[in-house]
Amino acid sequence: MEESKSMSMCTPKLVQVTHVFDIFGYSKHRGMGNEEFIRSGTFSVGGHDWSIRFYPDGFSKDKLENDFISVYLEFMSKGAKVRGSCDLRLVDQITGLSASMHKTGLRTFDPADHLGRFAPHIRYFKKRGDVESAFVANDRLTIECIVTVIKEPQVTETKAFRKIEVPPSDITKHFGKLLEDEEGFDVTFCVRRKTIGAHRFILAARSPVFKAQLFGPMRKGRMPQRVTIKDMQPAVFSALLYFIYTDSLPDKDLDGDDTNTEMIRHLLVAADRYAMERLKLVCQSILCENLSVDSVATTLALADQHSCDKLKDACLEYIACSNAMDDVVETQGYKNLKVTDPSLIVDLLERTKKVRNA
């Protein structure tokens, strides 16, 4: 399955404006009365109009609290809604630094909702003198309002993720070249008068039997430089080494050609001898795919002898399910099987009986 990945990004678009509202002659505005206010000039943020309301004598409908000031942010645009936030601040006339009196989180400003028109106001319940001593100088009060508006999010165009192709592993190619070039051999095998070189560390890494023979308790005396291999053809041992180095068979002709079935059988025996389970499975797979009336009995005996249970079951099913029993019993492999392992014949007959009765 071909896989791909693409991406896009969404980022909020923020517009922020700081409006400074200077109130000169601050003391002259006192006494206007509760709920009376002075409005700042209108300023624009994010394409919408805003203003500041300043209540010198506070804003309280019950008119009981009159010793405080109130400040509101008013959303002036009609027929529009906007999401935003504000930070209402008062400026220290001496240092020029502002201090936040009330900072809101994101909210929706909607003129249709009277309560939604204003950010929560700044109210001072302390004595007016405390406020005036901190922020009023030369009869001047400065209000600073920072308004942030969230506009439509910006979404980028969809782009494909960059993809770096990694070629298949070629480590076996390099190991195969090492074997082919015969470089750095540190052990020699004598197989029926033919000498074959190899690298002991590679053999030990791939086969526990070779590891024990070359490095473990099985070795005798010093590290062996020359090892004699008995009961194996040179071609089979060479194929075994090729698989150790490359994890593949040495010749495409071994991958299922009927004329090479005997070679695959010998290679399976070698794989079992050196505890190379993957090679053993490869050989079983090839033999399984090439079962025939002439070969199945011999392959069955081989599978039983080397504990190849899956291959053994495949052979029994082939004979039982293909109605080829009569032809199989005439083969030399079946006749040999009757002599060497009669118990397999019993298994075969029982499997055939079950299939026919099913």
Question: How do the domains of the chain map onto residue ranges?
Answer: 13-153
CB 123 within 8 A of CB 68: yes
Give the helix ranges, DSSP H, for 226-341: 234-246, 261-273, 277-289, 296-305, 309-321, 325-328, 332-340
What single-letter DSSP state applies at residue 118? B
- What is the residue type of 51? S
pLDDT level of residue 4 (50, 70, 90 thresholds): confident
CB 275 within 8 A of CB 209: yes
pLDDT of residue 352: 66
- Determine the Cα–Cα distance for residues 337 and 214; give it in Å rounded to an integer: 37
Taking Cα atoms as reference points, which of 208, 306, 311 lies closest to residue 266? 306
pLDDT of residue 12: 84
pLDDT single digits (tens) 156-208: 888 888 888 889 999 999 999 999 999 899 999 999 989 999 999 999 999 99
* CA angle, 287 then 289 then 295, to 5°: 50
pLDDT level of residue 334 (50, 70, 90 thresholds): confident
Report the range of poorest mean pLDDT among 51-55, 93-97, 318-322. Answer: 318-322
CB 52 within 8 A of CB 74: yes
pLDDT over 70 (residue 351) = no
| CB-CB neighbours of 134 under 10 Å | 14
pLDDT over 60 (residue 221) = no
The pair of three-digit structure tokens given for residue 164, joined into one six-digit string: 């770096």
Contacts of 331 (CB under 8 A, 6+ apart): 293, 294, 297
**Mean pLDDT (whole number) for 142-154:** 90
CB 293 within 8 A of CB 326: no
pLDDT over 70 (residue 345) = yes
pLDDT level of residue 353 (50, 70, 90 thresholds): low
**Mean pLDDT (whole number) for 330-349:** 77
Q: Buried (b) or exposed (e) across 170-194, using 16+ Cβ within 10 A?
A: eeeeebbebbeeeeebebebebeee
pLDDT single digits (tens) 275-293: 999 999 999 999 999 998 8
* 98 DSSP β-pair partners: 91
**Mean pLDDT (whole number) for 210-235:** 82
- Determine the Cα–Cα distance for residues 97 and 163; give it in Å rounded to an integer: 52
The phi, psi pair for 312, rounded to 5°, reads -60, -45
pLDDT level of residue 247 (50, 70, 90 thresholds): very high
CATH of domain 13-153: 2.60.210.10
pLDDT single digits (tens) 113-139: 655 455 444 455 456 777 788 899 999
- Determine the Cα–Cα distance for residues 199 and 183; give it in Å rounded to an integer: 9
pLDDT of residue 357: 56
**Mean pLDDT (whole number) for 211-216:** 88
Question: Is pLDDT larger for residue 279 or for residue 57?
Answer: 279
pLDDT single digits (tens) 60-74: 665 555 677 888 888
Can you say whether the dihedral through the CA atoms of 245, 251, 254, 256 is positive or negative? positive
**Mean pLDDT (whole number) for 238-257:** 81
- Determine the Cα–Cα distance for residues 45 and 150; give it in Å rounded to an integer: 10
Helix (H) or strand (E) holding 349: helix 342-357
**Cα 291 from chain centre:** 43
Question: Is pLDDT larger for residue 237 or for residue 295?
Answer: 237
Q: At what angle do helices 277-289 and 296-305 cross, to 10 degrees?
A: 160
Give the helix ranges, DSSP H, for 56-189: 128-135, 171-181
**Mean pLDDT (whole number) for 221-245:** 88
